[in-house]
Chains A and B, each alone.
Chain A
């Protein structure tokens, strides 16, 4: 009888709990439903559709035939796509590394309790408020050898000064990196500065007492503490690497020649200008595979492995 007398209230408690759960969770589930549907239908659905189209011979309109890997072999025979792929790697590595380094240095600089800190913060963050198109056009003018920096310095009395990267086949991609850095390092600075401000004052005091040089505190104590901020910044920067398109279009149109072509531009051109949906979607699929193969180990390390450990 004892057990029964215990069981009844507990069962009642469980059912009220269940009802309460339903009452609180149902609206939540309903509220999330549209988003979930959009994600499923629009994102996942379109990804599947894109991959499917890449195995067809679609040109202007989607056509659901099957040509196997033809489009992929065309893609990798295509000079322009290969150049695009190389460029995105150059840009990605230099842009992310450069933004992190510059952003960190700027954050450290601002964290020295400089005067007019607000003004500096605004100045450094300002480029980020500008669209890539504006950034691209401004840098295009600035770097144009006929009207920008080179001309100004030459007019100032240095007739041999040459800075014509933007019109040079080999160097043009680095001008895109420069413009990207100018645009992105402010944001990195803001994120890292928030992190720096969160570092416990006592750590600094303790390090001072021990006579640790400041640079050493930054590299050995502060940087490891900033890890989450660095990860956040890297993820944000990485998304702008993948979608790099407008900056290139505004700055160089992929030129000189095909020197600054990038995958997203390849996809856009083939989908919307060259009536070649199949080749465009094949390139998009390759981009997706690259992104997933970079993300997968990270997602695994971050979400899957720790859970495994707990269990």
Chain B
């Protein structure tokens, strides 16, 4: 009855009003987040240190696993004992918290700091509700990078691909040389991530937005979509048989250890390369695959401030906002996190070559594509994920059957 206890815990938390006077203390910030891996906690420590330097006390409340952390935080907000600040992914995760008046807007700070001018539009759009900023974006993650092993490519005499048809051709050559062409973490999330990389690269940004944002069924049935799906299907042949169930970091490790040539992942995978002592541009490269140089699918993390009447807490939250977006903090935090600063007006020359590339690509608004989390509800994303993983794992499924599943998800998912 584990399930029942979970459900009851949720309800209990809704029912109970927890009381705690501790938050009334001056500049004491309790921060709830799910950055628990080595690289992530090093990154969040940058915020903590800067906040301490600014005269505050940082109380770190890290809860492993995004879903767990969000559940805990939301329960506390509903129960009336919110943390001072809480992490979310950029996107729709906190929509209902805004509509239920559980969050405080930071519009005045945003106006003063000109956030609308210094942040990419997709990030701004994803944080603004009813014309007001309801969260502080702290970073930008690119989700569709192709990481490749430079040595494996050089040994095989193959150039890193620029488009998906090229990638499949290169993959076949690499396979003939006895390496795994494409390392994939065979879990639904990563299969779905790969699908989105192909969709945005080959299908284009508009098709991507139509499918995930507008849920346009006609677009899902278009010839371009079919072509994209067929390319995606062909990529099954580039993956090794041990892929199903593999964790994403194990897939990254295959590239690090010269066993595999290519790997699609978000820029958080850089942490694995760095931990293995490798340098971007030397042992491994990063590139965007797709027509016209490739678009970058961007998401990231934000912090939200639960609504409160407590003056001390409000002041603490103001201070936190200032600390989070301070240019030095932004650079140092993002170096550790693997992402790039949320504000485009900082100098990124001290960051690694992949981060610089990321910054350069994003300087052209045409290259900025909203991540799925920004475009669609978690529920529709989940339904799409179910469809993608079924197609990927069942080579006998026809393109039309897959499209049928996609349109069904578009219709049914709330």
Binding site for B on A (CB under 8 A): 42-43, 45-47, 49-50, 57, 59-62, 74, 77-80, 140, 144-147, 164, 166-167, 169, 172, 239, 242-243, 245, 251-259, 264, 267-276, 278-279, 281, 284, 287
Contacts and interface: CB of A to CB of B under 8 A. Distances in A.
Interface stretch (B6-14, B227-235, B274-282, B317-325): B6-14
B21 interface: no
Given A61-B96, A62-B14, A245-B3, A167 B71 contact: no
A256 B186 contact: yes
A77 B7 CA distance: 24
Contacts, number: 135
Contact of A47 (B4, B379, B381, B390): B4
Given A253-B188, A257-B394, A275 B378 contact: yes
Interface stretch (B30-38, B170-178, B240-248, B358-366): B240-248
B100 interface: yes
Given A272-B71, A276-B379, A255 B389 contact: yes
B179 to A, nearest CB: 14
B8 A46 contact: yes
Pairs of residues from A and B, 3 with the lowest C-beta to C-beta distance, nearest first? A257-B393, A146-B242, A274-B382
Interface majority SS (helix, strand, loop, mixed), chain B: helix
A255 B186 contact: yes
Given A169-B393, A257-B392, A273 B378 contact: yes
Contact of B12 (A42, A164, A273): A42
Contacts of A61: 74, 78, 96, 100
B382 A259 contact: no
B8 A257 contact: no
Given A245-B3, A274-B379, A256 B8 contact: no
B410 to A, nearest CB: 13
Contacts of B390: 79, 257-258
Contacts of B97: 60
B414 A57 contact: yes
A271 B7 contact: yes
B91 to A, nearest CB: 11
A243 B244 contact: no
A269 B186 contact: no
Contacts of B2: 243, 245, 264
B24 interface: no
Contacts of B392: 257
9 contacts: A145-B241, A167-B241, A167-B242, A169-B394, A245-B3, A257-B188, A272-B67, A275-B96, A276-B378
